[in-house]
Amino acid sequence: MSRDTELKERWSVLVEKLSAQFSDGDPLELDAIIYLVGVQELGQYHKTYKKDEKINLMHIAVCRLLEPYGYYEFEYFDEEGWPHYRIKEHLPSLKAGEQSVLMKEALVEYFLEKDFIQ
C-alpha cells in the first residue's frame, strides 16, 4: 500500500472516530481536530475558552504535532499549566495543500502514538 493511500485511510478513520465522539457524526474539519489536540495537550478539558485562548490552543497543538519533525521543542509549562515551545527550525514555505498534508500526517502520527487509531 502506498504511503499516500495509507495516510488517506488512516485520516478517514481518525476523522470518523473523532467526529462520532465530538460532533454527533458531523465530519470534523482539520482545524477542529487541531483544536482538540490543543485541549488534550493542555489537559484542561472542562473549561470554556475565549477566542484568544482557542488560538493559543491551536498553536500548542501545531507545536506539539510538529515537534517530532524537528520544528519545535518543548520548553516548559507556565504557572497556569500552559505548555511553551521554542522554534528549532523554521517551517519551509509550503503551499496550502502541502500544509494540509503535513498536518494530516502529523495528526495521524499523534493519534497512532496515543493508540487512538491503528
E strand residue ranges, 28-101: 72-77, 83-87
Determine the pLDDT at residue 24.
83
- Look at residue 85 and give its three-state secondary structure: strand
Burial (CB count within 10 angstroms: exposed 0-12, middle 13-18, buried 19+), residue 105: middle
pLDDT digits (tens, 9 = 90+) for 63-85: 999 999 999 999 999 999 999 99
Give the largest CA-CA distance in the chain.
46
Determine the pLDDT at residue 79.
96
pTM for the full predicted model: 0.92
**Cα 97 from Cα 82, distance rounded (Å):** 30
Report the candidate in 40, 8, 38 with the shortest Cα–Cα distance to residue 105: 8
pLDDT digits (tens, 9 = 90+) for 4-19: 899 999 999 999 999 9
